[in-house]
Amino acid sequence: MQRSYAIIGTGALGGFYGARLQHAGCELHFLLHSDYEHVRRHGLICESKDGDFTLPKVNAYRDIRDMPKCDVVCVCLKTTQNHLLPQLLPPVVKDDGVVLVMQNGLGIEAQVAEIVGAERVMGALCFLCSNKIGPGHIRHLDYGHVGLGEFAIRGISDRMRAIAGDLNRAGILTQLHEDLAVVRWQKLVWNIPYNGLSVVLDATTSELMTNPHTRQLVEQLMREVVTDAHRCGVAIADETVGKMLAYTDKMIPYRTSMKIDYDERHPMEVEAIFGNSLRAAQQAGAKSPLLEELYHQLKFLDARNTASSR
Amino acid sequence: MQRSYAIIGTGALGGFYGARLQHAGCELHFLLHSDYEHVRRHGLICESKDGDFTLPKVNAYRDIRDMPKCDVVCVCLKTTQNHLLPQLLPPVVKDDGVVLVMQNGLGIEAQVAEIVGAERVMGALCFLCSNKIGPGHIRHLDYGHVGLGEFAIRGISDRMRAIAGDLNRAGILTQLHEDLAVVRWQKLVWNIPYNGLSVVLDATTSELMTNPHTRQLVEQLMREVVTDAHRCGVAIADETVGKMLAYTDKMIPYRTSMKIDYDERHPMEVEAIFGNSLRAAQQAGAKSPLLEELYHQLKFLDARNTASSR
């Protein structure tokens, strides 16, 4: 069976994965906002370290009600737009379809489950460095692999394997996870210190790793997130912290996605990544003081940053 | 008996208090560095909300060895210069004299006691808004009152009363404290949140109070400092936190002294205010996570700020 895909939010992430899937032969439908006219006429351009390609003709939509119901609905908006999901998702997902949450943060799948039912929700962890450099014009810089996990059940489902097959044919390395919560928390171990401190201290990952004080703080934040995960019933191996530090030491100096949003005066995903994690941890009885301090700092910066851009 | 005063560090603070004391008839000796030539020739100017005045002739020194031994030696350097104190203090303090530590932070009196002996040390808490706007030119903006406390003993000593008498004659409101540790920690309850967050978030006190997230964080930091003080054997009333918040609500939007240092690319007093407090609290068994996170953030910013100014 050939699966149809809807891309909800055709930006740096949705544009990249959607273009790769269509390039590999899948049926794709793209929801666009500001770029709609341009993409309808000119299609998508993907510049990539794995090879450039162009899609002169794509199925572009400005209104969700014009889209056909699809097998796989990929949520590729920034989480700051998720208040739109109750309007966007029901018209476009087939009864036996799946909504693939390709966003950062914790607890988004549960929000989507409220809208479409838990059994239709799947999570995708995207490890991607890409930018949108013009209307319908994506530049893929690095990485791109995806982790998949079911929301309502544990273990590896047939539909996970089917979607992974499509992604693999599109050249996207895909890992199947038996427990989505574990990998969501694992990703937070990296995202919380580096996304948060890069914004608060106006710093790249390598600056944070070079200064002994921020290096220590990164490690303390990581250990706090590991403790929070335990409180929430998710075991993360102690060695994860050391591995992530070593992995980041070897990365090229990197401007985090949250820092890019901040610099471009876009709303930051503070609630999805920090607020939801903090509330989950504190509801489970953790104190999470380091995370809470960072959360309050980011909320202050986000409010000022988006207020002054208007 | 007429007391002689030495001002070690004739800047916004030392210049202000020294000029006021000389203006009131005390014998003053000023140690200067970059402003020496100018002040030797032209004296000191003090613009003040309480009335402007000029001292055309002052006893100015560039070398501590040229100064007479004094009864009261006022340490008015930034604490980032305190590595100089072992050279500066012994030549200038009389055998029965007193070193008055007029600096911010915790544990400075103990460092001075190592140099001149604990019985010759007194602490002064200065509540002063002033700037040095040119060589020997002080602008006094607001406040100015001083709290005095003995270091080696508790209670109110005769020499405290004598120094307070001189300050009062110079128009400086002075409060005598029976326990220096209590008031040092009390001042930290204000200094730690506002100095720290004003730098990390590039914010005035009123911005920090208006945003609900930073307001909550300020209060959490204050409560943590109160807990730290308790661990160190110092009781601070719970209502202190509410009073300080209300007091700051009524202040005009204020750029903290640490923020001014940061903006002018001077070294910040991170160790005196944050590092010493953190170490004292953790040695007493407190965890102080909020203070520790702020400390690491400030150390990172201070290192980058002073590195790029060279």
Domain boundaries of chain B, sorted by first residue: 4-178, 182-307
With an 8 Å Cβ cutoff, are B293 and A290 in contact? yes
How close, in Å, is residue B37 to chain A by CA atoms?
40
Domain A182-307 is in which class? mainly alpha
Among residues B299, B16, B223, B86, the alpha carbon closest in space to that of A293 is found at B223
* Residues near B284 by beta carbon (within 8 Å), at least 6 away in sequence: B228, B231, B232, B233
Q: What pLDDT is recorded for position A163?
A: 98
Interface contact B303, partner A, CB < 8 A? yes
- Contact criterion met (CB below 8 Å) for A210 and B300: no
Active site residue A187: yes
Report the pLDDT value the prediction gives residue A142, as an integer from 0 to 100: 87
Residue A214 contacts B where some CB pair is shorter than 8 Å: yes
B203: contact with A, CB 8 A cutoff: yes
Which chain B residues are Cβ-neighbours of A213 within 8 angstroms?
A: 295-297, 299-300, 303
- State chain A's mean pLDDT as an integer: 96
Identity at B50, one-letter amino acid code: D
pLDDT surpasses 50 at B95: yes
Of the candidates A69, A132, A187, A299, the residue annotated as catalytic is: A187
Q: Where is average pLDDT lowest: A268-277, B164-173, B255-264?
A: B255-264
Q: Spell out which residues of chain B touch residue A303, defining contact as CB-CB under 8 Å.
A: 211, 213
Nearest CB to B296: which of A217, A295, A299? A217
**Residue B47 in contact with partner chain A when CB distance is under 8 A:** no
Contact of A293 with chain B, judged by CB distance below 8 Å, is answered with yes
Inform me whether the pLDDT recorded for B150 exceeds 70. yes
- What tokens appear for A252 in the block? 């090229």
Average pLDDT over residues A295-306: 98
- Under the banding of pLDDT at 50, 70 and 90, the label for residue A95 is very high
What pLDDT does residue B308 have? 67
Q: Is pLDDT above 90 for A198?
A: yes
Which residues lie closer than 8 Å to B279 by C-beta, 6 or more apart?
Answer: none
Residue B202, Ramachandran bin (φ over 0: left; ψ between -120 and 50: alpha; else beta): left
Topology agreement, domain B4-178 and domain B182-307? no
Given the structure tokens 């996605």, which residue do they identify? A257
pLDDT at B309: 52
pLDDT of A254 above 90: no
Helix axes B14-23, B158-169, angle to 10 degrees: 80
Nearest to A214 among B203, B220, B296 (CB): B296
Tell me the pLDDT band of A310, cut-offs 50, 70 and 90.
very low
Answer yes or no: are the C-beta atoms of A18 and A10 closer than 8 Å. yes
pLDDT of residue B202: 97
Task: Average the pLDDT over B99-107 and give the result.
Answer: 97
Summarize pLDDT for B124-142 with one digit per residue, the tens.
Answer: 999 998 889 999 999 998 8
- The answer to whether the Cβ–Cβ distance between A207 and B301 falls below 8 Å is no
Identify which of A293, A300, A303 has the shortest CB distance to residue B290.
A293
CATH class label, A4-178: alpha beta
Check residue A168 and give its pLDDT: 97
DSSP A2: P
Which residues in chain A have Cβ-Cβ distances shorter than 8 Å to B205?
none
Chain B residues close to A294, C-beta within 8 Å: 293
Task: For residue range B197-228, list pLDDT tens digits in order.
Answer: 999 999 999 999 999 999 999 999 999 999 99
**pLDDT, mean of residues B82-91:** 98
B81 touches chain A (CB under 8 A): no
pTM (predicted TM-score): 0.92
Contacts of A216 in chain B (CB under 8 A): 296
